[in-house]
Structure 1
Amino acid sequence: MSERADIETEREPVTAPEAEANRAPASGWRGWASTVTVVLLLGLALAALAVVGGRSLPERIGPPVEELAVEQVRLSPGRMDLTVRNAGPDPVQVAQVFVNDAFVDVRGGEEPIEPRRSTVLTLDYPWQEGQPYVVSMLTSTGLVIEHEIGAAVRTPTGGRDLFAVMALLGTYVGIVPVVLGMLLLPVLRRIGKGGIRFLLAVTVGLLIFLAVDAVFEGFELGDRSGGAFGGVSLLALGAILAFLGLTFIDRWLHRRGDPAGGRGGGRLALMIAIGIGLHNLGEGLAIGSAYALGELALGAALVIGFALHNTTEGLAIVSPLLAAQRPGVPRLLGLGLIAGGPAILGAVLGASVGNAELSLLLLGLGIGAIAQVVVQIAPALRTTDDRATGTVAAMDATAILGVAVGVAAMYATGLLVLA
């Protein structure tokens, strides 16, 4: 009896932290179990509401809502292929099709087009090069939906030749101009701190112009799209996703302190390259789509115009590197490929796909990426930033002048782009 008592007294008492640690796994599992239970109950409630609520509500009063959007037109000798999507809530049956008020034979579209679905209408019509046409689709309810072709041009056929042309064009308007702009880095290193701040302000002006230009282009694309997948809403979705994605990448690089991402200027240069790359992805998509529709005149004027226009993007990338250590040539080439390479992918997609919704989403990605980069650069434009005392000064005249110069430079070089 005394031995058992001695053993009991020799045991160390359980401290409060140890008891809390023992209870932590049990409480963690109970928390996860309760969360899963709530989610399952919520899902069952929503499913029941969808079934019961949908059956209990009356049918919509009034005629069916019929909305058709022509997403793509491909022209070949004696033939028009129209990709038509139902952007409304009700099925649509195409009964007849007219081209310039002349009835034409149609293949495809025998069954009603369900909401959000698409079909291809093949029209046998001897169209003439360069002539305008109006395609009128008569639905089963008597509604006439028209689509205008400004100037009929044969659609380039896909294949190795088309991809080669688009890759070459993307290189000319994307990679080459950006790398040329980055060659100014040795010259720019001779300026002082005030000059560096001025160039950063010019960078902000360049990026602001790119973002605003993409917004206007997105609104124009939204008007031409059928709105089946949100229209302009895709622009906002892409912008939000890109802004949050680049913010996550920046925080991750900051925590790692990775030399590839760099600290300070190096990381900022990488962020600018990614932002400009996403913008060039949308720009390449627009170029490829315009080429597929016959609206893009290839030639020296286009190449020189885009070269001068996008050379300023290379200047924007190297501006944060002026105060940092001298970067190596492979790193500079990597930044140039990140910023200019997506133009090649965009041009190939634009020539082969030609989808307005995809264009809107990619334009939104570029807008959000540029906005995030501008947010990162803005603190460097202030003359004083004393966070300890809470004193933050606004931009001075030099920074404001730099932003104005950047906007003016992008506008002036943009006038040289003939498309």
Structure 2
Amino acid sequence: MTTASNPARTWGPALGVVTLIALVLTALAIFGGDTLPDRTGPPIEELSVEQTMLTPGEIALSVRNTGADPVRVAQVFVNDAYVDFSGGDTAIDRFGTETLRLSYPWQSEQPYHVSMVTSTGAVIEHEIAAAVATPRADGGFFALMTLLGTYVGIIPVVLGMLFLPTLRRIGSRGVRVLLAITVGLLAFLAIDATLEGFELAEEAGGAFGGTALVVLGALLAFLALSALDHRLSRGAAERTGLRLALLIAIGIGLHNLGEGLAIGAAYAVGELALGITLVVGFAIHNTTEGLAIVSPLTRRRPSLVRLLGLGVIAGAPAILGALIGGTVTNPELSGFLLGIGVGAIAQVIVQLVPAVRDKAGRLLDPATVGGATAGLLAMYLTGLLVTA
């Protein structure tokens, strides 16, 4: 019997090594600390404010210990005035969370500076740029977030897909230019989401990685979508156009999840400019995403149900994102989800690039360079219309 046909011989040594490592690490955790000297420096006390909730007469801060040592909040000041608060009676361990409820008659739209003084005298600052009552997560709130997600996600994408009959009338060169435009559109989305993810990561305390979470989300999404593409590619060759359209729809959908997060979070803190400008701006901006989805379908005739399904896949995640963003204000979670959108879009670009090449195998000829440039400019210019 060969080694390959005997699982015990193949995996037995590896299992033994893993067991030995586990035993050594357990012993170090139990006995190792007693053999090392105590740290001579001051405690490392760090708190990150993950969510601010304002209700009449109260400011609630959800804080997380992102430092190495336990932290106990002893006093809290708002605009240099001492305030009574509840919560934080015991020390917050590393990665632990606590909600501090401050009794304070805040005024709407006014800025506030919160200072948390720890038991050792360290001061941790938090700024509230403009106080706005936190919306209640009731039926009206969920209905509004669903409506917003539909306005800025599903409707614009489906409208952009209406260009399909026109796109079918262009020749093979035109298809290549159209696919190059799609690459430009998606590249801009990926760059924009990356920058936004890194910006959010800088606002977080870094307890769970900060910018590394954005990169991790991107890599996981890229690998997951690659596996999905491999699964879909087992079908018939004539389904290539539908496969690409589905991958584009999924990639755009994951991006719109992050876009919905931004909308919901902005609404929760009173920074979302609700109105016709928001709706029209997002409609024009996201219509280009529908164009990207149907670009691989110029030689196919999918049913209306499939087209609508692609539109829902691409647009509906904006609804979910708005609901999450409006109820869970966590910069690191938002950064991770934005990273997922970046990785998905990057994988779609990898799938589209071979279709952009001409018969000689050239990728960057004047037509495709012009198409990609047009896609980038279209997303940039329409993005200027978005006021969220």
TM-score range, shorter chain: over 0.9
Report the Cα distance in structure 1 between the residues aligned to 2:98 and 2:316, rounded to whole angstroms. Answer: 33
**How many angstroms does 1:23 deviate by?**
5.2
Could you tell me whether the CA contact under 8 Å between 2:3 and 2:9 is conserved in 1?
Answer: no
CA 1:25 to 1:412, structure 2 compared with 1: closer, same or farther past 3 Å? closer
**How many angstroms does 1:143 deviate by?**
1.4
**How many angstroms does 1:45 deviate by?**
2.9
TM, length-normalised to structure 2: 0.97
Query: Helix, strand or coil: the match of 2:90?
Result: coil
| Alignment partner, residue 273 of structure 2 | 297
Could you tell me whether the CA contact under 8 Å between 1:289 and 1:351 is conserved in 2?
Answer: yes
| Alignment partner, residue 379 of structure 1 | 354
AA aligned opposite 1:273: A
1:399 aligns with 2:368: yes
Report the Cα distance in structure 2 between the residues aligned to 1:31 and 1:166, rounded to whole angstroms. Answer: 54
AA aligned opposite 1:41: L
Report the Cα distance in structure 2 between the residues aligned to 1:31 and 1:295, rounded to whole angstroms. Answer: 59
Q: After TM superposition, list the pairs within 5 Å mapping 1:5-154 onto structure 2.
A: 27-154=6-133
Report the Cα distance in structure 2 between the residues aligned to 1:147 and 1:26, rounded to whole angstroms. Answer: 61
Could you tell me whether the CA contact under 8 Å between 1:383 and 1:395 is conserved in 2?
Answer: no
CA deviation digits over 1:343-374, x for unaligned, max 9?
Answer: 00000111111111110110000000011111
- Any stretches of 5+ residues in structure 2 without a counterpart? none
Could you tell me whether the CA contact under 8 Å between 2:86 and 2:102 is conserved in 1?
Answer: yes
Could you tell me whether the CA contact under 8 Å between 2:3 and 2:10 is conserved in 1?
Answer: no
Report the Cα distance in structure 1 between the residues aligned to 2:55 and 2:18, rounded to whole angstroms. Answer: 53
| Alignment partner, residue 305 of structure 2 | 330
Q: Please identify runs of 4+ aligned residues in structure 1 that moved more than 6 A.
A: none
**How many angstroms does 1:53 deviate by?**
3.2
Report the Cα distance in structure 1 between the residues aligned to 2:121 and 2:11, rounded to whole angstroms. Answer: 57
- Any stretches of 5+ residues in structure 1 without a counterpart? 1-21, 386-391
Report the Cα distance in structure 2 between the residues aligned to 1:378 and 1:366, rounded to whole angstroms. Answer: 19
**How many angstroms does 1:142 deviate by?**
1.4
| Alignment partner, residue 4 of structure 1 | none
CA RMSD of aligned residues (A): 1.5
Structure with max Cα Rg: 1
CA deviation digits over 1:317-354, x for unaligned, max 9?
Answer: 0001113x211101101111110010000001111111
Q: After TM superposition, list the pairs within 5 Å mapping 1:344-359 onto structure 2.
A: 344-359=319-334
AA aligned opposite 1:35: A
Could you tell me whether the CA contact under 8 Å between 1:229 and 1:357 is conserved in 2?
Answer: yes
| Alignment partner, residue 410 of structure 1 | 379
Report the Cα distance in structure 2 between the residues aligned to 1:258 and 1:93, rounded to whole angstroms. Answer: 62
**How many angstroms does 1:26 deviate by?**
6.0
1:275 aligns with 2:244: no
Could you tell me whether the CA contact under 8 Å between 1:309 and 1:413 is conserved in 2?
Answer: yes
Could you tell me whether the CA contact under 8 Å between 1:289 and 1:354 is conserved in 2?
Answer: yes
AA aligned opposite 1:410: M
Give the number of equivalent residue pairs: 388
**How many angstroms does 1:60 deviate by?**
2.0
CA deviation digits over 1:227-265, x for unaligned, max 9?
Answer: 11111111011000000000000011112x069xx7322
| Alignment partner, residue 284 of structure 2 | 308
CA 1:187 to 1:105, structure 2 compared with 1: closer, same or farther past 3 Å? same
Between 236-245 and 56-65, the greater mean CA deviation after superposition: 56-65
AA aligned opposite 1:42: I
Report the Cα distance in structure 2 between the residues aligned to 1:159 and 1:149, rounded to whole angstroms. Answer: 24
CA deviation digits over 1:287-346, x for unaligned, max 9?
Answer: 0011001110211100000000000000000001113x2111011011111100100000
Matched-pair identity in %:
62
AA aligned opposite 1:263: R
Could you tell me whether the CA contact under 8 Å between 2:64 and 2:96 is conserved in 1?
Answer: yes
**How many angstroms does 1:215 deviate by?**
1.1
